[in-house]
């Protein structure tokens, strides 16, 4: 199979080079195109006829397609029929289902992770932690999250029969739940803090600007003394370019250029401008971004920075300055293809030139970038995302211990038990988790035989193997012994050292259980350095004006 994969990739790469190489004329290019397609077709036909084992043709062609597209940028992808519904959900935020997020516990168990407020799962009484046993008579054990998610989805008004087991109970419960059209609001939280309006936007689906406008107008109506507005785009992967334009239009006057696109074909060259009068052109603004803010989120932050309309705070953004267009290619499948690059009003292309192994944009020295100027003459640069006006280090990075407690569901399972023993508080602000509760959590970990290994310990174990292989293990035995003793995690000590981070994570999960998504966001904001810095900046008129060169 690997040899077939190599053969397929070789021919496909040849085809790709043939298609992109400079041809002497159109006839030569068309001949090269036809020749390579014919070779491609012949290759599969011959393999299907003569290969010693039976070939899974569909899988083989999928492999060839993936290999071909992997030679291009990461965003040009093939969307088969079975994934088209997920793709539409990313665009619209809509799907037919019961309105719940699910997650895996271990290798063979799927549980409800978060029922959406007021949706079918929530109305039927399903809770986070409920173990899914059967869906319409089909067992869930051993299935993947994507498989079970597909089983839960369907047409609105259809009834789905769900059998589940609640932790702590002996018998399963069965519910007949009517699926609905689930619309996920991209604004998952908004509120006012110390006369500063705050809104968290999770994506740029086709309802992003309308929901942002509605929330902002509500906050302004209910709070006549607003001193500023924080738009939180951290973790926002982007979405529809039209929604990015519309959100900018809430704060910028009519006929202002927001973004321009330039492609290989002039049909993709376009300039996008605001088309309406803003709802609030004067309110001081801060936009929060991080390394996961991408695409449409960068259009908004880049335009608002270039127009000196908002102070950008946080980390350098991802650097996705490419425009994708979705093309139907038959059989309910699509090709999402990169057709252009986009440029901010100052002329910056914010596409990152290089990414590291984790997909983050590499820092480029200023000497290798170009200078551009904002409306008020501030210098900004291209070459890899939007650089904030006020940079903050990522304060949300987990230690190895907290990361393991969260990702391996120890905190999730503990909070499931916690919520069964405690009454719902009257508000998010009334959630408590004191030293006695933390001792209870430590006892829970002991009962589960919890242990963990530091990343540095894993690396050190590899180093010891290399030392042994190269014959240095005995020579450096004293050094190795000391490091071995010092690098071992001390669970009791580490739990105390990271106690504050652990409690914050537990409190956020408790808020999610009792008050849904908006509750967890509200709880998180209590520990958010980005929010604190944004409020400080908006309240300090001199700092705000100096940053944006307003006076």
CATH number reported for the structural domain that contains residue 106 in this entry: 2.30.42.10
406 falls within a domain:
yes
Tell me how far apart the alpha carbons of residues 416 and 513 are, in angstroms, rounded to a whole number. Answer: 8
Q: Could you say which of 295, 301, 346, 520 is catalytic?
A: 295
Helix (H) or strand (E) holding 335: strand 333-343
- Same-domain status, 423 and 507: yes
β-bridge mates for residue 95, sequence order = 182
310 falls within a domain:
yes
119 falls within a domain:
yes
Q: What is the 3-state secondary structure (H, E, C) of 266-300?
A: HHHCEEEECCCCCCCCCCCEEEEECCCCCCHHHHH
Count of C-beta atoms within a 10 Å radius of residue 420 = 13
283 falls within a domain:
yes
Count of C-beta atoms within a 10 Å radius of residue 482 = 10
- Same-domain status, 259 and 335: yes
Tell me how far apart the alpha carbons of residues 142 and 345 are, in angstroms, rounded to a whole number. Answer: 52
Number of domains in the chain: 5
295 carries an active-site annotation? yes
Tell me how far apart the alpha carbons of residues 475 and 481 are, in angstroms, rounded to a whole number. Answer: 12
Reference 489, options 450, 451, 433, 542; nearest CA is: 451
Asked if residues 320 and 352 have their Cβ atoms less than 8 Å apart, the reply is yes
What is the residue range of 152's domain?
94-183
Q: What is the pLDDT of residue 275?
A: 97
Q: Could you say which of 320, 387, 522, 533 is catalytic?
A: 320
- Same-domain status, 179 and 191: no
Ranges assigned E (strand) in 362-487: 371-373, 379-381, 390-391
Domain boundary among 183, 214, 246: 183
CATH number of the domain residue 221 falls in: 3.90.226.10
Give the three-class secondary structure for 359.
coil
538 falls within a domain:
no
- Same-domain status, 55 and 101: no
The structure tokens listed for 428 are 């998010």
Q: Using the structure block, give the residue that is written with the tokens 């509120």.
A: 191
Give the three-class secondary structure for 9.
helix
Q: Alpha-carbon dihedral of residues 17, 19, 20, 23, nearest 10 degrees?
A: 110
- Same-domain status, 240 and 289: yes
Question: What's the chain's Rg over C-alpha atoms?
Answer: 27
320 carries an active-site annotation? yes
79 falls within a domain:
no
- Same-domain status, 462 and 343: no
- Rounded to the nearest integer, the mean pLDDT of the chain is 89
Asked if residues 96 and 181 have their Cβ atoms less than 8 Å apart, the reply is yes
**Residue 528 vs residues 106, 461, 496: alpha-carbon distances, Å:** 31, 36, 21
- Ramachandran quadrant class, 106 (left: phi over 0; alpha: psi -120 to 50; beta: rest): left
- Same-domain status, 386 and 409: no
- Same-domain status, 203 and 152: no
pLDDT tens digit sequence for 172-204: 999 999 999 999 999 999 999 999 999 999 999
Tell me how far apart the alpha carbons of residues 142 and 133 are, in angstroms, rounded to a whole number. Answer: 10
Asked if residues 297 and 344 have their Cβ atoms less than 8 Å apart, the reply is no
Q: What is the pLDDT of residue 355?
A: 61
- Same-domain status, 439 and 517: yes
Give the three-class secondary structure for 27.
helix
- Same-domain status, 102 and 204: no
Give the three-class secondary structure for 163.
strand
83 falls within a domain:
no
- Same-domain status, 322 and 424: no
Inter-axis angle of helices 477-487 and 455-470, to 10 degrees? 170
Q: What is the pLDDT of residue 8?
A: 52
**Residue 75 vs residues 37, 318, 518: alpha-carbon distances, Å:** 23, 14, 31
Q: Could you say which of 130, 306, 382, 528 is catalytic?
A: 306
Ordered per-residue pLDDT tens for the chain, 551 residues? 454 455 455 545 444 444 444 445 566 777 888 898 899 899 889 988 999 999 898 888 889 899 999 998 888 999 988 888 777 777 787 899 999 999 999 889 999 999 999 999 999 999 999 999 999 999 999 999 999 999 999 999 999 999 999 999 999 999 999 999 999 999 999 999 999 999 999 999 999 999 999 999 999 999 999 999 999 999 999 999 999 999 999 999 999 999 999 988 888 899 999 999 999 999 999 999 999 999 999 999 999 999 999 999 999 999 998 888 889 999 889 999 999 999 999 999 988 766 665 555 566 766 678 899 999 999 999 878 899 999 998 755 678 899 999 999 999 999 999 999 999 999 999 999 999 999 999 999 999 999 887 777 778 777 778 777 778 777 777 777 777 776 777 899 999 999 999 999 999 999 999 999 999 999 999 999 999 999 999 999 999 999 999 97
Reference 403, options 517, 512, 501; nearest CA is: 501
Q: What is the DSSP string of 370-389?
A: -EEE-TTS-EEE-SSSPPPS
Tell me how far apart the alpha carbons of residues 189 and 523 are, in angstroms, rounded to a whole number. Answer: 11
- Buried/exposed 449-469: b ≥16 CB within 10 Å, e otherwise: ebebebeebeebeeeeeebee
Reference 429, options 507, 377, 487; nearest CA is: 507
- Same-domain status, 196 and 116: no
250 falls within a domain:
yes
Count of C-beta atoms within a 10 Å radius of residue 50 = 8
399 carries an active-site annotation? no
């Amino acid at each position: 199979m690997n040899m077939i994969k190599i053969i397929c990739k070789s021919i496909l790469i040849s085809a790709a080079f043939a298609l992109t190489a400079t041809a002497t004329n159109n006839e030569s290019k068309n001949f090269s195109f036809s020749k390579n397609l014919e070779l491609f077709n012949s290759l599969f036909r011959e393999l299907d006829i003569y290969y010693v084992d039976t070939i899974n043709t569909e899988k083989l062609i999928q492999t060839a397609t993936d290999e071909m597209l992997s030679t291009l940028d990461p965003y040009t992808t093939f969307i088969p029929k079975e994934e088209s519904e997920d793709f539409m959900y990313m665009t619209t935020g809509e799907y037919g289902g019961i309105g719940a997020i699910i997650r895996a516990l271990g290798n063979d168990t799927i549980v409800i992770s978060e029922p959406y407020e007021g949706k079918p799962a929530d109305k039927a009484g399903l809770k986070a932690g409920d173990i899914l046993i059967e869906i319409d008579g089909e067992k869930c054990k051993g299935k993947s999250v994507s498989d079970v998610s597909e089983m839960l989805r369907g047409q609105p008004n259809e009834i789905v029969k769900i059998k589940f087991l609640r932790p702590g109970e002996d018998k399963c419960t069965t519910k007949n739940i009517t699926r609905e059209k689930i619309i996920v609001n991209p604004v998952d939280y908004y509120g006012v803090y110390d006369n500063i309006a705050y809104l968290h936007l999770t994506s740029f689906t086709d309802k992003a600007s309308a929901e942002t406008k509605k929330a902002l107008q509500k906050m302004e109506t209910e709070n006549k003394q607003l001193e500023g507005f924080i738009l939180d785009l951290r973790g926002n992967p982007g979405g529809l370019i039209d929604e990015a334009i519309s959100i900018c239009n809430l704060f910028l006057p009519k006929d202002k250029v927001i973004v321009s696109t330039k492609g290989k074909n002039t049909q993709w060259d376009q300039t996008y401008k605001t088309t309406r009068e803003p709802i609030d052109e004067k309110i001081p603004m801060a936009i929060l971004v991080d390394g996961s803010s991408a695409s449409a989120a960068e259009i908004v932050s880049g335009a608002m920075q270039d127009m000196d309309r908002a102070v950008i705070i946080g980390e350098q953004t991802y650097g996705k300055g490419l425009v994708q267009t979705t093309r139907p290619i038959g059989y309910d499948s699509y090709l999402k293809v990169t057709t252009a690059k986009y440029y901010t009003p100052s002329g910056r292309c914010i596409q990152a030139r290089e990414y590291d192994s984790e997909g983050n944009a590499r820092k480029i020295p200023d000497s290798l970038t170009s200078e551009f100027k904002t409306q008020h003459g501030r210098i900004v640069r291209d070459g890899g995302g939007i650089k904030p006006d006020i940079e903050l280090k990522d304060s949300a990075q987990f230690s190895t211990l907290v990361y393991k407690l969260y990702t391996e569901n120890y905190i999730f399972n503990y909070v499931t038990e916690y919520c069964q023993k405690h009454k719902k508080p009257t508000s998010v602000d009334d959630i408590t988790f004191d030293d006695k509760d933390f001792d209870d959590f430590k006892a829970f970990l002991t009962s589960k035989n919890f242990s963990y290994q530091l990343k540095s310990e894993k690396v050190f174990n590899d180093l010891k193997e290399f030392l042994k292989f190269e014959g240095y293990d005995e020579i450096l035995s004293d050094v190795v012994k000391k490091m071995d003793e010092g690098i071992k995690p001390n669970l009791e000590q580490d739990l105390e050292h990271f106690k504050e981070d652990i409690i914050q994570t537990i409190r956020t999960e408790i808020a999610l259980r009792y008050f849904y998504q908006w509750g967890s966001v509200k709880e998180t904001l209590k520990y958010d350095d980005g929010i604190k810095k944004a409020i400080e900046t908006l309240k300090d008129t001199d700092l705000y004006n100096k940053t944006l060169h307003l006076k």
